[in-house]
Amino acid sequence: MNKTCLVIPLLAALLVTTLAAGCGGGDGGGSTAAQSAPANSLGPVVRCLRRSVHAARVSTAVKELDQIARRATMGAAMVRFDVSSVAPKGLNVATIVLERSNAMARATESHYRGVYKALGGDARVLLSRTANAVVAFGAKPSASQRAAIRRCVRPAQGEPR
């Protein structure tokens, strides 16, 4: 049995346990009326991914998303890279989670970081956050996979790219 077959059920169980423990009260974003609109929203990110990522499948279907992504306040998408007749499920995946605020995205990033730590994954390689968007890769991304996501996820105003 390969490692992926063991990791996915473990990841699902860990996510259920993590989410059942709760994330605290309030909106988690510390948002105020003066806070600006989120840098990223689902529609433009998905359209960009569908245009710019070749040999990939982009989905926002709930059944495609992990439990952390399903709870995203502004939606989430999954990209399956290198989809072909030989590899119909692709060779790598990226989950893009969009939150209402940068603070909520930091909390989501922390949840993913905990999952990677529990599974022995290197969060420094597999996880990134840009403004209100968290990107979680299933395996170490190639430079072109990382660049494709980066093109479609915008930093907050004044945040370096």
Query: What one-character-per-residue DSSP string does 18-38 give?
Result: HHHT---SS-SS---TTSPPP
Q: Which residues contact 78 (CB under 8 A, 6 or more apart)?
A: 58, 59, 60, 64, 65, 69, 93, 94, 95, 96
Tens digits of per-residue pLDDT, 25-37? 334 444 443 356 7
Residues 1-12 have pLDDT tens digits of: 444 444 444 444
User: In this model, does residue 19 exceed pLDDT 50?
Assistant: no
Res. 161 pLDDT band, cuts 50 70 90: low
Q: Dihedrals φ, ψ of 57, to 5°?
A: -125, 130
In this prediction, residue 158 has a pLDDT band, given cuts at 50, 70 and 90, of low
Rg of the chain over all Cα atoms, to the nearest angstrom? 15
For the stretch 45-85, pLDDT in tens is 999 999 998 889 999 999 999 999 999 999 999 999 999 88
Q: Over the stretch 110-126, which tens digit does the pLDDT of each residue have?
A: 999 999 999 999 999 99
The pLDDT value recorded for residue 10 is 42
Residue 112 has a pLDDT of 97
Average pLDDT, integer, range 130-145? 96
Give, in degrees to the nearest 5, the angle at Cα 134 between 94 and 144: 45
d(CA 101, CA 40) in angstroms, rounded, equals 10
